[in-house]
Copies of this chain bind each other. A is one copy, B any other.
Amino acid sequence: MVDSRNTARTTEAAKPARLNRAQRCLVLKALADPRRFELLERIAKAGCPLACAQALAALSISAATLSHHVKELESAGLIRVRRDGKFAYLTLRPGVLPAMASLLTSLESANCARR
């Protein structure tokens, strides 16, 4: 799980949050599965916390499999799961995706060979 201290906010700003090697690896692995990526897309594009049951209806997988993928995304630090009685709601955890993006960008800009 991505250390929450890295993303703890002082007041309101979203933080860049550098990813270390282990975190980077977890995040990439989590993103690399197509179904999981699609799930994350749906969570991101939903205007509000996405109910688990909704995700289940959208993707055509079993509840057990969904639960597994949710756990993977959660422990990679990509989403937050709020459990409320019978239900669970999924939200994107801000900052992680941008951190990954800037990591990749900086990798390429480190490149000097122009051919």
Contact = CB atoms under 8 A, between A and B. Distances in A.
Nearest to A26: B32
Contacts of A98: 104-105, 108
Contacts of A105: 97-98, 101
A113 B91 CA distance: 8
Stoichiometry, as copies per complex, reads 2
A115 B98 CA distance: 17
A83 B91 CA distance: 47
Interface in A75-115: 91-92, 94, 97-98, 100-102, 104-105, 107-108, 110-113, 115
Contacts of A34: 21, 25
Contacts of A113: 46-49, 91-92
12 contacts: A25-B32, A28-B28, A29-B32, A31-B104, A40-B107, A48-B113, A92-B108, A92-B113, A97-B104, A97-B105, A101-B105, A104-B104
